[in-house]
Structure 1
Amino acid sequence: MEKTNVMRLLDTVKIEYTARNYDPTLVDGEKIASILNEDFERVFKTLVTRGNDKNYYVFCIPVVFHLDLKKAAKSVGVKSIEMISQKELLPLTGYIHGGCSPIGMKKRFKTVIDETATLHKTIYVSAGKVGFQIELNPNDLRTYINAKFDDLVI
């Protein structure tokens, strides 16, 4: 299996992970979880938002849930947030829709991982390329990207 930049970054800091790949024509998180034969609540999607303060914020939530914008805004200390458009994603993060990872973005943004991640020994996030996921310990992820856990979902 080819190594993505995310995998190389984790190798550099010696964080354990398991790489998995799937059909790259799939971008639906629930279908990806099914193909990986994993619990939907362990497969996380990465969402990028903009706050009313014009700063960007990243949220990682299970693929079966929706981001509660009010909870998310409160978590990062702003009045409101909104999702960015798909066309903004690549220039801002270096990732395309369906392959956005909380690891290795062009810039570090304040990141929050839904607290349900702490219920699992490992979770999945994108490996930075459509068709690739990594499984890793949620605390290792939180520490590496300097994130926090909080209640984010509806």
Structure 2
Amino acid sequence: MSTPKTNALRMLDKHKITHTVLEYDHEDGQIHGTAVAHKVGRPPEAVFKTLVAHSGSRLFVYVIPVGDELDLKKAARAAGEKKIEMLPMKELQPLTGYIRGGCSPVGMKKLYPTFIHRSAETLERMAVSAGQVGLQMELAPRELAGLVRAVFVELVKETDVQEQIVEE
């Protein structure tokens, strides 16, 4: 079975960006970020989710590690806005061309201002959605940033160290 070509993957090919396609089974309905990281065999800090927010009619794209939560104040500051809100799910596909669980920062209907969490800068490779549920693409963070004209900034909520302790 061959890997489907999504808009995101076509754009990487067009711009000759080296990448690896990671496929995973989503039949169990487990498409949240940490489940996807486990399924593709990558640590959660190297797998990123794509979130879309808005301020009025302006859209912004945020790419953050799957285990983290977007800090809306930091996101608004990065975008130069006073306040932003998450885009309602029903508006995601009409405005971006992507659905929940398959939203990629690459290949949206328009090139929206994009921000990648600064932790990606320290990675050799990061995985993001390839534009379809069940597909991830792994590539160099700087190449992704160059393609979508993104900047690296602080975007996530600070977590309490106690919350990070996992019982064994």
TM-score in terms of structure 2 length: 0.89
CA RMSD of aligned residues (A): 0.9
> Superposed, which structure 2 residues align to 1:19-38 within 5 Å?
19-25=21-27, 26-38=30-42
1:67 aligns with 2:70: yes
Q: Identify the residue that residue 10 of structure 1 maps to in structure 2.
A: 12
Q: Identify the residue that residue 126 of structure 1 maps to in structure 2.
A: 129
Post-superposition shift, 1:54? 2.9
Looking at structure 2, the residues matched to 89 and 27 of structure 1 have their Cα atoms a distance apart, in angstroms, of 17
- The runs of at least 4 aligned residues of structure 1 exceeding 4 Å deviation read none
SS, match of residue 132 in structure 2: coil
Q: Could you give the per-residue CA deviations for residues 125-146 of structure 1, whole angstroms, max 9, x where no partner exists?
A: 0000000000000000000000
Post-superposition shift, 1:3? 2.2
Looking at structure 1, the residues matched to 117 and 132 of structure 2 have their Cα atoms a distance apart, in angstroms, of 22
Q: Identify the residue that residue 112 of structure 1 maps to in structure 2.
A: 115
Q: Could you give the per-residue CA deviations for residues 45-73 of structure 1, whole angstroms, max 9, x where no partner exists?
A: 0000011x431111000000000000000
Single out whichever of 24-33 and 108-117 deviates more from structure 2. Answer: 24-33
Which amino acid in the other structure matches residue 17 of structure 1? H
- Percent identity, aligned pairs only, is 47
Q: Gaps (5+ residues) in structure 1?
A: none
1:54 aligns with 2:57: yes
Which amino acid in the other structure matches residue 71 of structure 2? D
Higher alpha-carbon Rg = 2
Which amino acid in the other structure matches residue 104 of structure 1? G
TM-score in terms of structure 1 length: 0.96
Looking at structure 2, the residues matched to 8 and 88 of structure 1 have their Cα atoms a distance apart, in angstroms, of 24
